[in-house]
Structure 1
Amino acid sequence: MKNIINTVNAPAAIGPYSQANMANGILYISGQIPVDPVTGKLVEGIEKETNQVMKNLEAILTEAGMTFKNVVKATIFLKNMDDFAVMNDIYASYLDAESYPARETVQVSCLPKNVDIEISMIAHQD
């Protein structure tokens, strides 16, 4: 059985999907884009965008009773791979070096609302 996870501290879904689903102790978080959940507006610039995405992911993890330490897998979509180093430094600042998740980062031609970054995660309850 799955349990749908939603929080007002992350942007509401903009389509037919949930922010996250919990099934058998595994949390599947939908891709998050840099929308400020308070204003509903996009933030701009790869630094601000990456920070907002990570805050959105953290809010969903918190709602599910987890932290970034529970994350076992991340998928990062970048519109421009030239943003990788900046994104990577910010991404790493949210994580515990002792428990980095598996990850891939891919460049894509377009993302929802024409943002520069989207990140999805899978986490596991301890």
Structure 2
Amino acid sequence: MIRRIGTMDGVSALPSPPPRAVVANGLVFTSGQVPLRSVPEVENGNFADDVRLALANLSAILEESGSSLKHVLKITTFLTDPRLADYNEIYVDVFGDNLPARTTVMVSESDYSIEIHCIAAVADGHKPPLIRRITNALGMAPVLGPYSQAVVANGMVFTSGQIPARTSMQDQPEDFAGKVRQTLTNLEAILLEAGSDLAHVAKVTTYLTDPEQLAEYNRVYAEVFGSTLPARTSCCVGIWDIALEIECIAFVADGPSQAPFPQEPELVSATQKAGETC
């Protein structure tokens, strides 16, 4: 069954808006949330106000959908303001220990400084979801920002955007093909830690900073995935001097045949501090 959540009291909307969220199979998929106020103001607030308002709007829609911020599995953030450290500080204050997987990129044109959308688990009080948050997969560069490398729930794995870092942000391959291979190697390492692998990836989203590199990206990508090609979206954005970022949604390798939300009294989480990376 698919349930569509419409416009809510207290959350502004554009004329003839799409659903604010769609609920299906124990998951909530939200539309992008921006710092719109229920009562229009002469001018928007500062960047910090915009971030808090966008997250408050996201929280309100999740509550209406039967979920909450602590049940968010994956966040995607689009910024036009480059103050990532300021965003991270507010973000970790709002999410606390329940850090979702996250991808953050810069976009050049928008009426708003920030837009956020997410995938969350339904917060059934009688059958709370089992959520496992992976902080640092074996052999990966340390996580510096307020996010989990991957979140596992409902037989699915939601990864954060992966970049070409080997041991650190400063340790990356020189050539673009090497960067693509390293990024996919990092993605695979996280999937293995989560109980999945590249053959079980259902959807890939790729963020490039140079559209001229798409052909080279496709060549390496095809070599790595072979005949097990996922659905894919690729776009060009800004990523703080990083050549590319890749995120995915995958199935746990033993399949989601178990009960969607095993009984679990508490969420499994990890505490992380805000940092300078997306």
Match of 1:81 in 2: 211
Q: Deviations over 1:6-31 (max 9, x none)?
A: 31322222210011000111100100
**8 Å Cα contact 1:69-1:96 kept in structure 2:** no
- CA distance in 2 between counterparts of 1:17 and 1:4 reads 9
Q: Which runs of 5+ in 2 are unaligned?
A: 1-129, 256-278
Match of 1:46 in 2: 176
**8 Å Cα contact 1:9-1:38 kept in structure 2:** no
- CA distance in 2 between counterparts of 1:61 and 1:40 reads 23
- CA distance in 1 between counterparts of 2:222 and 2:159 reads 18
**8 Å Cα contact 1:46-1:117 kept in structure 2:** no
Q: Deviations over 1:41-80 (max 9, x none)?
A: 2323211110110110011111122211110000000001
Match of 1:103 in 2: 232
Q: Pick from 151, 155, 161 the counterpart of residue 21 of structure 1.
A: 151
Q: Pick from 161, 186, 189 the counterpart of residue 56 of structure 1.
A: 186
1:66 equivalent to 2:185? Answer: no
Structure 1 or 2, whichever has the larger Rg, is 2
**8 Å Cα contact 1:69-1:95 kept in structure 2:** yes
Which structure has more relative contact order (CA 8 Å, sep 6+)? It is 1
- CA distance in 2 between counterparts of 1:36 and 1:111 reads 17
Question: Cα offset for 1:38?
Answer: 7.0
Letter of the 1:8 partner, please give it. L
The number of aligned residues is 123
- CA distance in 1 between counterparts of 2:239 and 2:151 reads 22
- CA distance in 1 between counterparts of 2:171 and 2:149 reads 17
Segment of structure 1 superposing worse, 6-15 or 23-32: 6-15
Question: Cα offset for 1:123?
Answer: 0.3
| Identity %, equivalent residues | 35
SS at match of 1:55: helix
> Which one has the bigger strand percentage?
1
Distance 1:11 1:3, change over 3 A: same
Q: Which runs of 5+ in 1 are unaligned?
A: none
Question: Cα offset for 1:96?
Answer: 3.3
Match of 1:120 in 2: 247
Distance 1:43 1:92, change over 3 A: same
